[in-house]
Structure 1
Amino acid sequence: MTIAENTPVIIGVGQFAERPGDAAYRALSHMDLAGEALSAAIADCEAGGAVASAIDTIAAIRQFEISIPGVVPPFGASDNPPRSIGKRVGAEPERAILEIVGGQGNQKLVGELAQDIAEGRNQMAAIVGAEAISTVLTLSKRGEKPDWSEEIGGQLENRDVSLRAQFDRPLAANGVRDIIPLYAIFENRRRADLGLSLEEYRQKLGELLAPMSEVAAGNPFAAAPTAYTAEELAAVTERNRIVAEPYPRKTVARDQVNQGAAIIIASAAKARELGIPEERWVHIHAVTNTNEPTILSRPNLASSGRAVASVEAALSAAGIGMDDVRYLDLYSCFGIAVFGITDAFGLSTDDTRGLTLTGGLPFFGGAGNNYSAHAIAEAVQCLRGDPEAYALVNANGGVMHKNAVGIYSLRPADWSSARRYHEVTTDQADVPVLESFDGEGIVESYTLVPGHVSAIIGKTSGGERFVATPADDAATDVLKDGEPFGRTVQVTSSEKGRNYFTFV
């Protein structure tokens, strides 16, 4: 097959990591880590020509420090991250993008920028990001405060950082604001549907994640390269405490990382001009992107229907089925993000293909919004040794609010005859949500952080959702036992916007 000149192809990927205990630890800033990753991606191209100067677009992924409005980075930050990163490798792009918040960012950008290349708007783009959360904590404990601020200036497409569309006011009003207890709402609803106790469900989490830890143990870029058994992950101990039911600490994403990753995409014409061997080109067969409504308005609290639809649409656009995929990386910040896909496609937690290429977010590391760049980099390296295979990368953002999927292969993909980047929507009726409620309802799910946060999500007889917190110790004790599902509660609202419940 003749590959058309405007065909977008991945020509280089790079990763970089350091741990505070490493002998060569340099305590690099976010921008330095990202620069190292982009430099590695440039070297990976094995080009005969100059790659850095040919990059016309750099899209940077937001580090966590600049992902929350009003939060001030402790050591300062760049006013133009993509140009700061480009400066470290000698790239001066015409276009600089700072992507919106969410772990779907890298995967979504692959589709968006590939479409730009296919339609002639640019010829070569780099997607790059990094986190230095571990170093920030390490230096802060030492009492050190380096200056990581950079004034670069220049054009910047600074995309919306607002998180308001993702969160429900009733959850925040009732004390549920953090990511882990929010994900626990989904996890507990799935547990209820399966009829499992807390202990039984923790074992299922352990069985899902133990094989991932084995992959991480062999990955030189992993933040926590240690293999665990399912039983070790499921056991609640002093070092594996409950962070929100049903999650022991080791079963959730590890955000204390120092990692960077980069992806370089070019038109076939530009790749040829730079002398990049065609046998190294990885083709983008499909990319899909989708968005869910807020947590409380979703029809199903046990999964993300649009995430499943996004995977289905990507497979359809690529003209393959799940059985045709040889390499899988399912975003694993929390078990429910993986279970939502495995449940829908009948995948076993011990699928012989494995469910991660990196080692998963609890063990490889939840590299902020940038994790999926590492997954794509691993997929590219796997495919270069397996020319007939397909890889699927699933990327999740927010509290399962956003999902992006990519399908890759060394087999050529024809971008001239079909659009391969799709925004996926589905017809689903949103559930009405009440901010204030007085009356009886039925418990759908709950969240509990021992000693800190507890709340139920319930439904009225009319089908509206509400959030309420325990009115007394007896109500809290039922949540601690882990079996409030389907029980009737009496709810009373307060002037401060919080609802209180007791069990009837």
Structure 2
Amino acid sequence: MDDRTPVIIGAGQVSERVGEPGYLERSPMDLAGDALKAAMADAHAKKSLAPALDTVAAIRQFEISATRYTAPFGHSNNTPRSAARRAGANPDRAILEVVGGQGPQRLVGELASEIAAGRSKMAAIVGSEAISTMRALLARGETRDWSETRRGSLEDRGSGYEGVVDMTAIRHGVAAPIGGYALAENVRRERLGLSLADYRTEIGKLFAPFTQVAARNPHSAAPTARTVAELAELTERNRLIAEPYGRLVVSRDQVNQGAAIILASVAEARRLGVPEDRWVHIHGVADCAEPAMLTRASIEQSPAAVAAISTALEVSGVSWENITATDLYSCFAIPVFNLLDAFGLDRDDPRGWTLTGGLPFFGGAGNNYVGHSIAEAVARCRANPGGMVLVGANGGIMSKYAAGVYSTAPADWRTSRWQSLEKIKPQWRVLDTLDGEAAAETFTIQPGKGGEVATLVARAGDARVMANSSDPAICAALRGGKVAGRPVRIEDDESGVNRFWFL
């Protein structure tokens, strides 16, 4: 192997659940620092890794990701350096990545390329969330001071929200990802000819095996195995969040979790005395992005996700048949269904589709869930030498996707194995307002303080338009039969929110 070949030498995870034995009420930065220390220990190096760490890339916490999130207890001004300091490191380069669950996987490709090019010898990716602790403290009326100031350079890449959500969607109640994913889910449901209840069962069949994996994972936020019926039936405990989703099958952000990954060149790993049986090779990484949801050719599909995985497999020189284990990003069902449909994969494949237990059950650790996926992939590779493990990482509303293939088998990096693909082109215009007729395409219904609100996406010529209705009769009609293709009347009520009714 070339001395500059990048390998993963350490992976660490930490977690805690409110009120359980050993609960320490750790801040996000404490969790991140502990995860980085765990990753260093995982390398089994003869020498200290901390002084050799030249680059630390941090995943952006939810509370500093956008204005709709808050940091009630304050936050670090330099997240990567806060985490690095706790692990005894002072890197030359500190990076704060953009928003999106694709971040950890994409950074593996980028930092591996930096190592292969000789611009870095050792780099770490670290992220954490303490949302569960934060909410528990606020519920008790307590406060903490989690603010801190760290000196040193910071490469802040900004939020990266451009093209993820447009203002039309935000005005119509689809600012949070759940509404967008629900719209996509209902396109697929109608294409399959399923009722809402039947489709909830399909989601339950997909996710019930995930809960079994989560139940065995000591880092899970919700380590409880559940049946298909428990996941599918709407009850007081599994209340409707956005049609067709019940509470139990949506990403769980109330977690206290941290994860870190350490990469090094082969030469640096040898210098530091990292045993070769700890090395995990990066065989291929690819990432791709979509335009905003309403401009895509199909709301239910993500060509970017398919392209990222296809390219990662191609660069790695393997096919789906060679993959021995997989973690597909599962904030909701549709990102998993999208890939199973596109590649003709079996929902009940015995290899399974999660290593962690999935975001609704293991926990959706903000933008850093895939840090945990990669840590689990590293462990799986070591336990099954020569096996090939695939990790899929999703961000936004199926807006950004990164994929990576890992194995203990060596990978030749004399030619880069990271490909950042061209963004998918938009196919539809978006109308902010419309006074006229259109053809319904998809919908969701979300509970609100004033009752349920239905959000419709409709087609008018070569454009899409959104509209809302709080009429119970319209909500009932949406639930009662096929929606796609039905003629609707849309009008602007001058507030920027369109209203609709069926013709």
Distance 1:315 1:162, change over 3 A: closer
1:237 correspondence with 2:229 = no
The alpha carbon displacement at 1:210 in A equals 0.3
Asked if structure 1 preserves the Cα contact closer than 8 Å seen for 2:30 and 2:83, the reply is yes
Say if 2:116 and 2:416, in contact at 8 Å, map to a contact too.
no
Where does residue 417 of structure 2 map in the other structure?
A: 420
Answering whether residue 254 of structure 2 is matched by residue 256 of structure 1, we say yes
- Residues in 2 aligned to 1:80 and 1:453: alpha-carbon distance in whole angstroms: 40
Residues 334 and 482 of structure 1, relative CA distance in 2, 3 Å threshold: farther
CA distance in 2, matches of 1:249, 1:429: 32
Quote the offset at 1:178 in angstroms: 2.1
Which residue number in structure 2 is paired with residue 147 of structure 1?
Answer: 145
Residue in structure 2 matching 1:137, options 131, 135, 138: 135
Shift of 1:430: 1.7
Shift of 1:145: 0.5
Q: CA deviation at 1:70?
A: 7.0
- Cα pair distance change 1:489/1:122, threshold 3 Å: same
Partner Cα separation in structure 2 for residue 208 and residue 191 of structure 1: 14
1:344: which partner in 2?
342
Q: Secondary structure at the match of 2:318?
A: coil
Contact map agreement 1:455 1:468 (CA 8 A) in 2: yes
CA distance in 2, matches of 1:481, 1:358: 36
SS at structure 2 position matched to 1:184: helix
In structure 1, the residue matched to 2:94 is: 96
- Matched residue, 1:332: 330
Matches within 5 A, 1:63-212: 63-69=61-67, 71-212=69-210
Letter in 1 for 2:245: Y
In the other structure, the counterpart of 1:219 is: 217
Change (3 A) 1:350 1:69: same
2: CA distance, partners of 1:70 / 1:219: 31
The alpha-carbon deviation at position 478 of structure 1 amounts to: 1.6
Q: Given that residues 185 and 446 in structure 1 are in contact (C-alpha distance below 8 angstroms), is that contact kept between their aligned partners in structure 2?
A: yes
Residues 271-282 of structure 1 aligned to structure 2 (within 5 Å): 271-282=269-280
| Aligned twin of 1:38 | 36
Contact 1:68 1:162 in 2 (8 A): no
Offset, 1:452: 4.2
Q: Structure 2: which 5+ residue stretches go unaligned?
A: none
Q: Secondary structure at the match of 2:163?
A: helix
2:436 matched to 1:448?
no
Give 5+ residue unaligned stretches, structure 1. none
Shift of 1:427: 5.9
What corresponds to 1:465 in structure 2? 464
Aligned length: 500
The equivalent residue for 1:389 is: 387
Quote how far apart the aligned CAs of 1:71 are. Answer: 4.6
Alignment-mate amino acid for residue 455 of structure 1: T
1:438 aligns with 2:435: yes
| Candidates 316, 326, 342, aligned match of 1:318 | 316
**Structure 2 counterpart of 1:282, one-letter code:** V
Report if aligned partners of 2:251, 2:359 keep a CA contact under 8 Å in 1.
yes
Bigger shift: 172-181 or 86-95?
A: 172-181
Shift, 1:165, TM fit: 2.5
- Paired letter, 1:74: P
1:179 & 1:350 partners in 2: Cα distance? 27
One-letter identity of the residue aligned with 1:421: W
State the shift of 1:172 in Å. Answer: 1.8
TM-score, normalised to structure 1, is: 0.97
> Residues 235 and 474 of structure 1: is their aligned pair in 2 closer, same or farther, counting only changes over 3 Å?
closer
Amino acid at match of 2:436: G
Instruction: Look up the SS of the partner of 1:349 in the other structure.
Output: coil
CA distance in 2, matches of 1:257, 1:324: 34
Stretches of 4+ aligned residues off by more than 4 angstroms: 426-429
Q: Is the 8 A contact 2:394 2:401 kept in 1?
A: yes
3-state SS of the aligned residue for 2:124?
Answer: strand
Tell me, in whole angstroms, the C-alpha distance in 1 between the residues paired with 2:487 and 2:14: 52
Q: Match of 1:432, as an amino acid? A: R
Q: Name whichever of 379-388 and 487-496 sits farther off.
A: 487-496
How do 1:334-373 and structure 2 match up within 5 A?
Answer: 334-373=332-371
Are 1:375 and 1:393, in contact at CA under 8 Å, matched by a contact in 2? Answer: yes
CA change 1:414–1:162 in 2 (3 A) is: closer
Superposition deviation, residue 171 in structure 1? 1.5
Once the two structures are aligned, what percentage of the paired residues are identical? 52
For residues 141 and 69 of structure 1, do their structure 2 counterparts lie closer, same or farther at Cα, with a shift above 3 Å needed?
closer
What value does the CA root-mean-square deviation take over the aligned residues?
A: 1.3
For residues 229 and 71 of structure 1, what CA distance do their matches in structure 2 show?
33
